């Protein structure tokens, strides 16, 4: 499943690059917060049969690409992002890893407040999909003879600001800060996979807030 997502993401990137005026690639560290999933992990940790303490799903990374449409000074474009957030419970003899894979596609609008400064603000909105997997001792957790997985999907909004260095050259780079918000991500099986039981699940929808800090590389 993971490789299919990566292949699909690569095909989309190649197709959009043919119509792009400005092509960008990026990499960033990622911070994630979901109060509902935090409570699910805390419930797991209170279970007396649990091995060790499972950390919260907090930190990971993202990689992505974005394209400005092939029109003179067009502020509109498309962006795609893949992210991975993980949590490792390194209990002797039973290491448990939670892996949250993410794929997002956005329609973007980029605004430059001042012609005197290479500072940009980008607003975007689109769709976010997630895939949660659990590994125990390097093996994916199996339920009912299948790899257990929890899929989520929902809308996502993003606000980004970045500062471009060497703005007038063909290759530029820009440090950026981004905040993304998914008001209702539908993921009915996520809590059940975290807790390894359906008895502690609550709402099928959850809110996700994420912050990315990284670098964009631009080809004009």
Query: Which parts of the chain have pLDDT scores under 50?
Result: 11, 14-18, 20, 72
Q: Which of 63, 67, 79 is nearest to 28 (CA)?
A: 63
23 in any annotated domain: yes
Asked if residues 100 and 132 have their Cβ atoms less than 8 Å apart, the reply is yes
36 in any annotated domain: yes
pLDDT of residue 51: 77
117 in any annotated domain: yes
How far is residue 130 CA from its own chain's centroid? Answer: 8
The range of the structural domain enclosing residue 109 comes to: 2-160+180-219
CATH number for 135: 2.40.160
Number of domains comprising the chain: 1
Per-residue pLDDT tens for 173-195?
Answer: 899 999 999 999 999 888 888 87
The dihedrals phi and psi of 84, each to the nearest 5 degrees, come to -140, 125
pTM: 0.85
Asked if residues 67 and 22 have their Cβ atoms less than 8 Å apart, the reply is yes
Per-residue pLDDT tens for 145-178?
Answer: 888 899 999 999 999 999 988 666 678 889 999 9
Q: Is 129 exposed, middle or buried (0-12, 13-18, 19+ CB in 10 A)?
A: middle
Write the Ramachandran bin of 15: left for phi over 0, alpha for psi from -120 to 50, otherwise beta. Answer: alpha
pLDDT of residue 197: 61
168 in any annotated domain: no
173 in any annotated domain: no
């Amino acid at each position: 499943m993971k490789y299919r997502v990566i292949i699909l993401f690569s095909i989309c990137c190649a197709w959009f690059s043919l119509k792009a005026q400005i092509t960008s690639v990026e990499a960033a560290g990622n911070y994630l917060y979901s109060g509902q999933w935090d409570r699910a992990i805390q419930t797991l940790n209170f279970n007396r049969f649990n091995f060790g303490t499972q950390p919260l799903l907090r930190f990971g990374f993202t990689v992505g690409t974005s394209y400005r449409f092939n029109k003179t000074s067009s502020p509109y474009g498309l962006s795609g992002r893949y992210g991975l957030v993980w949590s490792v419970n390194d209990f002797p003899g039973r290491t448990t890893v939670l892996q949250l894979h993410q794929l997002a596609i956005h329609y973007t609008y980029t605004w430059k407040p001042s012609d005197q400064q290479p500072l940009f603000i980008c607003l975007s909105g689109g769709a976010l999909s997630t895939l949660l997997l659990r590994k125990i001792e390097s093996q994916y957790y199996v339920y009912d003879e299948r790899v257990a997985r929890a899929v989520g999907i929902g809308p996502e909004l993003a606000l980004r600001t970045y500062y471009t260095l060497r703005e007038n050259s063909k290759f530029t780079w820009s440090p950026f800060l981004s905040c993304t918000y998914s008001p209702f991500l539908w993921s009915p099986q996520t809590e059940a996979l975290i807790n390894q039981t359906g008895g502690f699940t609550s709402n099928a929808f959850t809110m996700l807030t994420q912050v990315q800090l990284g670098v964009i590389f631009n080809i004009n």
